[in-house]
């Protein structure tokens, strides 16, 4: 079998592959990103490419319309190489990292809740888990020739009240020369135990006084994006922040596709390597931005969902997707960061946030820590809508959590023109009540390329309130507009005609999209209801809603309530904390007290499997309407609709 050269445009990357190689794999090999939500199983239809020169075999499924096929469109995951070819990755199949680096300001319809660092300081909780101490030791003599480690440990014990110190081998290796470089003046980096009474570790020594250079890294490992912060452990400040797309995206967009990939051959190793590579990219960026010496970084704290955590630690996630959904572990011991492949000094320990279950991971625990909900009196609903949706309900006395099988609709999955909150994504929408012509706002103010999650909510809410779709998400075909039409029997509304679009097709929202949206929002709402019911409460008892995740910042609260995604409450009771996972990592990097609390919180959080909870199915079915079977749960919406109806009726 011969070799063929495939050229990927617009990157103009070339790669030689054997006959029959799958195009998606060739792209991976070439380092070219193509969205592939389903991990290459041909079901999501996201990985469309255009064959500009040459030919490929197969690659045609019912996901591609006839007109697209004729234009040379193929699904990369189903196309096999048969000869040299030039393949264009269309803009909507390409990952656009600009969204992470350009500052798209959040809409901030919800109040922003920030960690109150000053309060942390006032309460005396600002004691980082890793501290530096400078000491000047007496020089040894023939009469006093204790071993170097004994000299150090004894001095710290006598003069700094440091007991139960363990000196690690790399420190023993460095110590003799380090001590003698600055006349026995030395800075020791001491890592505190999580549990009081356990041993502290001397993890590093440096000649002279370096106590004012002590940094930490906090990392949120999202399925889609990895965000990192560089923290100053002396001042408590964030010195730099950076985000990158998780390199694993090329191997499947959602966790299930990644698990499937990890199960094949060396898939686990590969996914582990690429996530470590992304983390290293993030670390090197924040280090450069803040102009600090990488060797002065003393700790790294990471949080991610259970699958991301297992892939990070190279623990096969095989059983996470199989009933009864058992994680390998929920708690991970501290791990040497360098041994894991992270480009930090040999003395740096990686602390990984513990998970609760297969579907409620360390990112959620970190969010609970970062949001402070575990220390408040108020009954709080914490909602993280990302690639999946997780719910935590509780306060300082108890915590209950569950994962909702919402699917990735709010991140663009299952929505024909759905896309991430990147440039060109429709984010805001309104509708002229007479002409039914839309007004669109895109991120970055460019020609529309697709629909962001926040845009989807707004579109659905507006269309529902205006009667363009009914409570089941079906278009009113009697309305007089050429924007509502049918395609293969399914109703759709043309948001953008091809000539105005940033892509080469009409951008539409379809009844299938509405179906998926309704199922997504229904699963979240009914998840909250079920969880509350399990602890004897109702939606009305919730005193505070915290929205976490990138998505939360763009959401129009009234619209989200109008479609029944959020319980209808006073918008003032809703706050937005941004990346809760990253905030939790930051908190426990800065405060060993909070790190200790993590253990308690993990023990306290009761996980519910919604599918195993009797009332869930009823709640879910009832929630499969806009906004809900019981519109009484949404009194403000009801009165608006009643008013509109009254206005529309002939007097």
Least distance in Å: CB of 204 to a second copy? 15
Residue number, 12 or 323, with CB nearest to a second copy: 323
455 vs 219: CA distance, rounded Å: 28
Q: In Å, what is the CA distance from 396 to each residue of 23, 196, 338?
A: 52, 22, 37
Residue 175 or 260: the one with the smaller Cβ distance to a second copy is: 175
Query: Are the C-beta atoms of 38 and 61 separated by less than 8 Å?
Result: no
Structure tokens at 544: 């505070």
Residue 26 CB, nearest distance to a second copy (Å)?
31
Answer yes or no: are the C-beta atoms of 7 and 86 closer than 8 Å.
yes
DSSP H helical ranges for 373-471? 453-465
Q: How far is the CB of 437 from a second copy (least distance, A)?
A: 50
Q: Which is nearer to a second copy, 329 or 395 (CB)?
A: 329
> Cβ of residue 141: shortest distance to a second copy, in angstroms?
6
- Closer to a second copy by CB, 118 or 139: give it: 139
Q: State both tokens at 519.
A: 């199922």
- Report the C-alpha gap between 193 and 111 in whole angstroms: 36
By beta-carbon proximity to a second copy, the closer residue of 34 and 313 is: 313
In terms of CB distance, is 354 or 502 closer to a second copy?
354
Based on CB atoms, which residue is closest to a second copy, 355 or 598? Answer: 355
User: Would you state the structure tokens that stand for residue 16, as one six-digit string?
Assistant: 């030689």
* Burial (CB count <10 Å: 0-12, 13-18, 19+), residue 564: buried
Minimal distance, residue 330 CB to a second copy, in Å: 4
d(CA 537, CA 571): 21
Question: Which is nearer to a second copy, 217 or 313 (by Cβ)?
Answer: 313
Please give the Cα distance from 265 to 436 (Å, whole number): 53
CB of 319 to a second copy, least distance (A): 5
Nearest CB to a second copy, comparing residues 338 and 490: 338
Select 138 or 540, whichever has its Cβ closest to a second copy: 138
Minimum distance of a second copy from residue 150's CB (angstroms): 6
Angle between the 453-465 and 635-648 helix axes, to the nearest 10 degrees? 50
Alpha-carbon distance 600 to 397, whole Å? 11
Q: Look up residue 103 and give its two tokens.
A: 């500052």
Which residue's CB is nearer to a second copy, number 51 or number 178? 178
Question: Rounded distance, CA 384 to CA 389, Å?
Answer: 6
User: Which of residues 142 and 646 has its CB atom nearest to a second copy in the complex?
Assistant: 142
Cβ atoms of 292 and 77 closer than 8 Å: no
Query: What whole-number distance in Å separates Cα of residue 265 and Cα of residue 370?
Result: 38
d(C-alpha 413, C-alpha 387), whole Å = 9
Angle subtended at Cα 556 by Cα 550 and Cα 557, rounded to the nearest 5 degrees:
100
Q: Which residue has the tokens 């360098």?
A: 338
Q: How far is the CB of 522 from a second copy (least distance, A)?
A: 22
As measured in angstroms, the least distance from the Cβ of 148 to a second copy is: 5
CB of 621 to a second copy, least distance (A): 21
To a second copy, the closest distance from the beta carbon of 317 in angstroms equals 9
Shortest Å, Cβ 194 to a second copy: 12
Q: Least distance (Å) from a second copy to the CB of residue 151? A: 8
What residue ranges bind a second copy (CB under 8 A)? 140-150, 166-169, 172-173, 175-177, 180, 313-316, 318-319, 323-333, 335, 339, 355, 357-358, 609, 612
488: left (phi > 0), else alpha (psi -120 to 50), else beta? Answer: left
If the CB atoms of residues 485 and 596 are measured against a second copy, the closer one turns out to be: 596
CB of 601 to a second copy, least distance (A): 16
Which residues, listed in sequence order, are joined to residue 431 by a DSSP beta bridge?
438
Number of neighbouring beta carbons within 10 Å of residue 464: 23
> What CA–CA distances, in Å, run from 539 to 535, 560, 574, 625?
11, 15, 14, 17
Question: Smallest distance, Å, CB 42 to a second copy?
Answer: 29
CA–CA dist 394, 146 (Å, integer): 55
**Eight-state DSSP code of residue 56:** E
Q: In what order do the strands lie in the sheet with 165-167?
A: 130-136, 185-191, 200-207, 165-167
Nearest to 602, CA basis, from 310, 433, 355, 293: 355
Structure tokens at 133: 């101490």
Q: Nearer to a second copy by C-beta: 36 or 167? A: 167
Going by C-alpha positions, the residue among 20, 77, 10, 424 that lies closest to residue 252 is: 77
Structure tokens at 454: 């926040």
When the beta carbons of 216 and 340 are compared against a second copy, the nearer one is: 340
Question: What DSSP string describes 156-217?
Answer: HHHHH---SEEE-HHHHHHHHHHHHHTTTEEEEEEEPPSSTTS-EEEEEEEES--TT--EEE
Contacts of 459 (CB under 8 A, 6+ apart): 426, 429, 451, 495, 509
Cβ distance to a second copy smaller for residue 313 or 503: 313
Q: Cβ 271 to a second copy, closest distance in Å?
A: 14
């Amino acid at each position: 079998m011969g070799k063929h050269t495939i050229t990927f445009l617009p990157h103009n990357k070339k790669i030689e592959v054997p006959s029959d190689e799958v195009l998606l794999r060739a792209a991976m090999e070439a380092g070219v990103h193509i969205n592939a939500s389903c991990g290459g199983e041909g079901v999501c239809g996201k990985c469309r490419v255009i064959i500009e020169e040459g030919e490929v075999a197969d690659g045609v499924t019912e996901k591609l319309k006839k007109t697209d096929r004729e234009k040379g469109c193929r699904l990369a995951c189903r196309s096999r190489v048969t000869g040299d070819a030039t393949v264009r990755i269309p803009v909507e199949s390409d990952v656009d990292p600009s969204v992470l680096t350009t500052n798209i300001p959040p809409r901030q319809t919800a109040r922003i809740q920030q960690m109150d660092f000053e309060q942390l300081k006032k309460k005396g909780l600002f004691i980082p888990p890793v501290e530096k101490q400078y000491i000047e030791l007496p020089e040894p003599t023939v009469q006093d020739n204790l071993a170097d480690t004994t000299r150090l440990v004894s001095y710290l014990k006598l003069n700094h009240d440091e007991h139960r110190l363990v000196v690690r081998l790399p420190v023993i290796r460095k110590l003799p020369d380090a001590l003698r470089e600055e006349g026995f003046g030395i800075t020791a980096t001491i890592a505190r135990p999580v549990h009081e009474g356990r041993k502290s570790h001397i993890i590093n020594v440096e000649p002279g006084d370096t106590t004012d250079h002590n940094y930490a890294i906090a990392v949120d490992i999202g399925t889609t994006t990895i965000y990192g912060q560089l923290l100053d452990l002396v001042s408590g400040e964030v010195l730099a922040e950076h985000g990158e797309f998780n390199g694993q995206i090329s191997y499947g967009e959602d966790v299930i596709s990644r698990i499937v990939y990890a199960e094949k051959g060396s898939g686990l190793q590969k996914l582990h390597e690429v996530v470590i590579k992304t983390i290293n990219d993030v670390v090197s960026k924040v280090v450069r931005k803040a102009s600090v010496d990488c060797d002065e970084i003393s700790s790294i704290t990471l949080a991610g969902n259970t699958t991301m955590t297992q892939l990070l630690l190279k623990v096969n996630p095989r059983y996470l997707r199989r009933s009864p959904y058992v994680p390998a572990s929920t708690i991970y011991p501290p791990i040497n960061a360098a041994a894991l492949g992270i480009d930090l000094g040999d003395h740096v320990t990686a602390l990984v946030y513990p998970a609760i279950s297969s579907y409620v991971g360390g990112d959620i625990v970190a969010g609970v820590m970062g949001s402070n909900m575990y220390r408040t009196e108020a009954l709080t609903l914490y909602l993280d809508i990302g690639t999946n949706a997780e719910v935590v309900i509780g306060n300082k006395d108890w915590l209950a959590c569950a994962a909702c099988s919402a699917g990735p609709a709010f991140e663009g999955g299952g929505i024909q023109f759905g896309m991430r909150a990147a440039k060109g994504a429709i984010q805001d929408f309104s509708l002229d009540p007479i002409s039914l012509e839309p007004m669109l706002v895109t991120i970055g103010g460019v020609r529309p390329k697709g629909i962001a999650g926040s845009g989807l909510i707004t579109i659905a809410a507006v269309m529902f309130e205006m009667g363009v779709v009914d409570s089941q998400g079906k278009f009113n075909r009697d309305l007089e507009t050429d924007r509502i039409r049918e395609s293969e029997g399914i109703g759709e509304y043309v948001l953008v005609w091809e000539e105005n679009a940033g892509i080469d097709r009409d951008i539409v929202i379809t009844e299938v999209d509405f179906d998926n949206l309704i199922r997504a929002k229904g699963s979240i709402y009914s998840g909250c209801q079920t969880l509350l019911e399990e602890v004897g409460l109702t939606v009305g008892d919730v005193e505070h809603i915290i929205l976490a995740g990138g998505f939360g910042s763009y959401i129009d609260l009234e619209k989200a309530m109008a479609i029944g995604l959020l319980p209808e409450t006073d918008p003032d009771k809703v706050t937005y904390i941004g990346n809760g996972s990253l905030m939790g990592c930051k908190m426990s990097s800065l405060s060993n007290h909070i790190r200790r609390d993590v253990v308690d919180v993990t023990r306290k959080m009761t996980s519910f499997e919604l599918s195993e909870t009797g009332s869930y199915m009823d709640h879910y079915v009832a929630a499969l309407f806009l906004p809900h079977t019981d519109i009484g749960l949404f009194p403000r919406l009801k009165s608006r609709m009643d008013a509109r109806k009254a206005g529309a009726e002939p007097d």
